Chains A and B, each alone.
Chain A
């Protein structure tokens, strides 16, 4: 997984 990039919103 990419570091910290868990956000699925805009």
Chain B
């Protein structure tokens, strides 16, 4: 564990808490892409298949359980209690391409051809693009609630900090995995436009609006 990874994990934790807070406080999931949330649920379930077979630490297990449970809870609540508060007509990104693309990528680029490793790799590639339906929806509506922008910033910062963590781990431990590094870079690049608007507007107290 190093400071980059710890802060990254805490940002990830914070992002989910901010999202839950947004939904509860505004009693609405408006502006949230259900498809992105569904993709994150698939990401965590496929990545943490080793939950019962591979012990790392209490911290690691607790975080895994939280990420699976919270993403499942959000998907469930968006389908049930908050079903009428968000508009599926705005959430039109074709996730079949992301699900299929990640499958192809994990079949071509992986380190071991085993059940757990293929699903782990699939989750890494899928996570890199899971935010696209959300960004696509925001580019269509041209704006986002401030709390939603904070949620997205924390979520984007988490993977960006993991990239820094991987560089740090390579320098200090010689630990290197190029698949998550590359996927993390892709995800951070996808966030670039969002980060720009977040820093230039939301951090200065203005509303998140696309130019």
A interface residues (Cβ-Cβ under 8 A, vs B) = 2-5, 7-10
Contact = CB atoms under 8 A, between A and B. Distances in A.
17 contacts: A2-B50, A2-B54, A3-B115, A3-B116, A4-B111, A4-B116, A5-B54, A5-B117, A5-B120, A7-B50, A7-B54, A8-B60, A9-B165, A9-B180, A10-B12, A10-B60, A10-B63
A4 to B, nearest CB: 3
Given A10-B12, A10-B63, A5 B53 contact: yes
Q: How large is the interface on B (under 10, 10 to 19, 20 to 34, 35 or more residues)?
A: 20 to 34
Nearest to B175: A8
Interface of B: 5, 9, 12, 50, 53-54, 56, 60, 63-64, 67, 111-112, 114-117, 120, 162, 165, 180
A7 B123 CA distance: 13
A8 B180 CA distance: 13
Contacts of A7: 50, 54, 120
A5 B56 CA distance: 10
Nearest to B5: A9
B56 A4 contact: no
Given A9-B162, A10-B64, A4 B120 contact: yes
Nearest to B166: A9
Given A3-B117, A4-B114, A5-B117, 18 more contacts: A2-B50, A2-B53, A2-B54, A2-B116, A3-B112, A3-B114, A3-B115, A4-B117, A5-B50, A5-B120, A7-B50, A7-B54, A7-B120, A9-B5, A9-B180, A10-B12, A10-B64, A10-B67
B60 A4 contact: no
Contacts of A2: 50, 53-54, 116
A9 B54 CA distance: 12
Contacts of B117: 3-5
Contacts of A8: 56, 60
Given A2-B50, A4-B120, A10 B114 contact: no
Nearest to A7: B120
